[in-house]
Amino acid sequence: MTATKDRVRIVQTEVLSDNWFVLKKVTFDFLRRDGTWQRQSRETYDRGNGAAMLLCNPDTGNVVLTRQFRMPVFVNGHDGMLVEAAAGLLDNATPDERIRVEVEEETGYRVRNVRKIFEAYMSPGSVTEKLHFYLGDYDTSLRVSDGGGVEDEGEDLEVIEIPLQTALERIESGDIVDGKTIMLLQYVALQSAMQPRAAA
């Protein structure tokens, strides 16, 4: 089978915008499965890679989320206030380093027992970003601030602590619509469902 790199010939790359992140138009020839070459153009938005973490309290079964305003969803008909797991861009740090800092800035909690669970491309049709997904444990003793994000970066986050089951119900009701958050919550629910039950 032909390697993917041998099926792609980049003809031209044009930078359309380098204002906030980098938007490029890439023209390329692609070798189709029937052996013919087809010229295509795609726009790619490069905002760097990121990391996201769901904070879980193993004693209470609660999780910590945030609520913040998101302009892109606002212009797409949503009221703009999204309930999300803590997340951020790597900014040249390792995923493990960055997510710990981001969680503390956003939620006010330091976390323990941090574990990476998977990686995923969140919108591969147009955005280059790969997201690193984590779980971390917290309790009240690990609260070091009120959180809320970094004001100079325009962040104004409300910190929310709710039972996992409530969060899952809020997915079903349409209150939680953020993709990374749904993935993390459903991962935890699935892992819980797969745990062997203690004998009565």
Segment 64-77 mean pLDDT: 95
Query: Which residue did the predictor score with more confidence, 48 or 1?
Result: 48
SS3 79: coil
CB count in 10 Å sphere of residue 86: 30
Q: Longest Cα pair distance anywhere in the chain, in angstroms? A: 66
Q: Is the pLDDT of residue 199 over 60?
A: no
Q: What is the pLDDT of residue 197?
A: 63
What residue ranges define each of the domains in the chain, with the CATH number in brackets? 4-46 (no CATH), 50-194 (3.90.79.10)
Q: What is the pLDDT of residue 150?
A: 76
Nearest to 113 by CA among 100, 126, 95: 100
Pairing type for strands 112-121 and 86-89 reads unpaired
Structural contact between residues 163 and 62, judged by C-beta atoms closer than 8 angstroms = yes
Interval 25-43: pLDDT, tens:
999 999 999 999 999 999 9
CB count in 10 Å sphere of residue 183: 19
Q: Is the pLDDT of residue 200 over 50?
A: no
Q: What is the pLDDT of residue 198?
A: 52
Average pLDDT, the chain: 93
Interval 77-117: pLDDT, tens:
999 999 999 999 999 999 999 999 999 999 999 999 999 99
Q: Return the sign of the alpha-carbon dihedral for residues 131, 136, 139, 144.
A: negative
